[in-house]
Amino acid sequence: MIGIIMIVYQCILLVFDFLNFVFRANLLTLQAAWRLVFPPPEKSVVGEIVLITGAGHGIGRELSLQLARLGAKIVCLDIDEANNQKTVADICREGGAAYGYKCDVTSRDEVRTVSNEIRENIGEITILVNNAGIMPCKPFIKHTPEDIERIFKVNVFAHFWMLKEWLPTFIAMGRGHVVAMSSIAGLMATSNVVPYCASKYAVKGLMDGLVEEMRYGGRNPNIKFTCVHPFVVDTGLAKKPRIRFPSFNPITTAKSCAEQVVSGILREQEVVCIPDKDFYGHKMMLLLPREVQKAFLDFMDTGVDEHDS
């Protein structure tokens, strides 16, 4: 008799859990649609210490400048010391606070050493922006094993090494924000950048996994994660971009992309960087079935052509 009661109880519980799931799913879908049109208010970054990798050029440089103008202290990391120091100098010239460190983010030991220097000289960072990346453009069979290893060292493993240094700090402080540069190619792959696409899918998986791990059981609710998916950005990485409708779908400038990333950081949202931040077609397209996405991509004929590098 007790066994029958328990079975009935489990069935009733399952039904209520399912109804709760359906209710929450519909509520969250409506909430997501509402936020697409009416984004949440922005938070302040005044006094925050922001570490940005690849700060010497492109999106990293623009992020450094724009976040500094909002009152954040910027720690610039780049293997290119000259360009990195130029970013630092430009921030200081505008009255902001910035510090530069040369660092090969693919080296676990170098990341550890530089991170310790930052702690001693500046303090514990509160926002980590994993931005450094490379993008060789050629067919998969033309990539050497060394090419592929280099892509994953810069685009993926560097994220792990930085996170291993700073995520424990965020957990200890009970707050923090991790920003990771993935790509549209980390949501929908394209030709001539197959290892790059794989590396950006990996970044997306890393961030999704961290979100789940940090939120499980209500742990670390004040550690935020923002994954960024830029379209083709004019940073020099994509040497020969191919766009069928350039007037409708132009290449994103580094400044525009950074503006959208900063907005995502301030609103603690995932970011899809598009040429016109007020155009929602790219975002809505991501919700379409896979075969419809493929058909849309065929129609748009947008991608990257081969380039020897």
Catalytic residues: 196
- How far apart are the C-alpha atoms of 17 and 13, rounded to whole Å? 6
Distances (CA, A) of 133 to 42, 78, 80, 286: 27, 11, 13, 23
Dist CA 71 CA 126 (whole Å): 13
Cα angle, residue 151 at apex, residues 206 and 234 outer, rounded to 5°: 95
Cα separation, 161 vs 106, whole angstroms: 8
Burial classification of residue 17, based on how many CB atoms lie within 10 Å of its CB (0-12 exposed, 13-18 middle, 19 or more buried): exposed
Asked if residues 53 and 84 have their Cβ atoms less than 8 Å apart, the reply is no
Q: Please give the structure tokens belonging to residue 34.
A: 């509402």
The amino acid occupying position 159 is H
